[in-house]
Amino acid sequence: MAFELYYWPGLPGRGEFVRLALEHAEADYVDVVRDRKSGMSALTRIMEKEAATPPFAPPFLKDGDLVICQTAAILLHLGDRLKLAPKNPARRLWAHQIQLTIADLVAEVHNVHHPVATGLYYEDQKREARKAARSFREDRIPKYLEWFERILAHEGRGGKWLVGRSAGYVDLSLFHLVEGLRYAFPVAMEREEAATPRVVALNSAVRELSAIAAYLASKRHIPFNEDGIFRHYPELDG
């Protein structure tokens, strides 16, 4: 049975981390809201009524009877199902920890353009966003990128992936994270990337994976835009 991914249409968002895993594994899946006419009402119905395990927010994944929410939990599940994570329990848990740290950075990125409230427009919190962006660019981006670099340096010995010898879901997620940061903060990222060559190399290596390359060139792939998590507001870069 095909996996069913439920996520808002029109933006890559957190759904993209799941999509990349499904695409890389060439899994049979439906991107429900985009692929089916009644997709959005199906999403609402599952969240509000149907699920015994109601998702707090999209994305969520249906795998048969299972409904799984929380991006990192979905990937923990798909890591096993699609062989995108180590089998060894300690290594599997380590991959999950990296994913959870990626999730923390994603939440911080969103917070940069919405520091005051998710429910308000960016235009209503621009002044605060500018202050938040400065500290994010100067303190947070380097701190996170250096941590990933350190993991790659330790793990690296001949390899290039975060955990193990082939590309796993965490590598796909780090790829997307770097793509998103480059889109949102091109000036800051050009500066910061110089210090983290392994992170940059991983990004390139993921882009060249055949199923990922095909996906990125397809219409299934949604470009970054200012409805998403990674938004390019030039006044927040620098």
Binding its own copies (rule: CB under 8 A), the pick from 27, 30, 36, 77 is: 77
Binding flag, residue 176, its own copies (CB under 8 A): no
Taking the CB of residue 3, how many other CB atoms lie within 10 A of it?
A: 23
Binding flag, residue 83, its own copies (CB under 8 A): no
Stretch that binds its own copies, among 20-28, 94-102, 205-213, 225-233 (CB under 8 A): 94-102
Binding flag, residue 73, its own copies (CB under 8 A): yes
The residue behind tokens 């119905």 is: 45
Rg from Cα positions in the chain: 18
From 154, 153, 157, 152, select the one nearest 206 (Cα to Cα).
152
CB of 75 to its own copies, least distance (A): 11
CB of 127 to its own copies, least distance (A): 9
Residue 72 vs 202, nearer CB to its own copies: 72
Binding its own copies (rule: CB under 8 A), the pick from 117, 187, 201, 214 is: 117
Binding flag, residue 111, its own copies (CB under 8 A): yes
* Helical (H) or strand (E) element with 175: helix 169-184
CA dihedral 154, 157, 162, 165 (to 10 degrees): -150
Residue 14 vs 19, nearer CB to its own copies: 14
CB 58 within 8 A of CB 7: yes
Binding flag, residue 1, its own copies (CB under 8 A): no
Residue 26 vs 50, nearer CB to its own copies: 50
DSSP 81-124: HTT-S-SSHHHHHHHHHHHHHHHHHHHHHHHHH-SS-TTS-GGG
Binding flag, residue 54, its own copies (CB under 8 A): yes
The residue behind tokens 């409805």 is: 227
C-alpha span between 102 and 133 (Å, rounded): 18
Strands 29-31 and 60-63: unpaired
Please report, as residue ranges, which positions from 126 to 165 form the binding site for its own copies (by CB under 8 A): 128, 131-132, 134-136, 139, 144, 147, 150-151, 154
Stretch that binds its own copies, among 25-33, 66-74, 165-173, 219-227 (CB under 8 A): 66-74
CB of 208 to its own copies, least distance (A): 27
From 157, 171, 180, select the one nearest 201 (Cα to Cα).
171
Residue ranges binding its own copies (CB under 8 A): 52-54, 56, 66, 68-70, 72-73, 76-77, 90, 93-94, 96-97, 100-101, 104, 107, 111, 115-120, 125, 128, 131-132, 134-136, 139, 144, 147, 150-151, 154
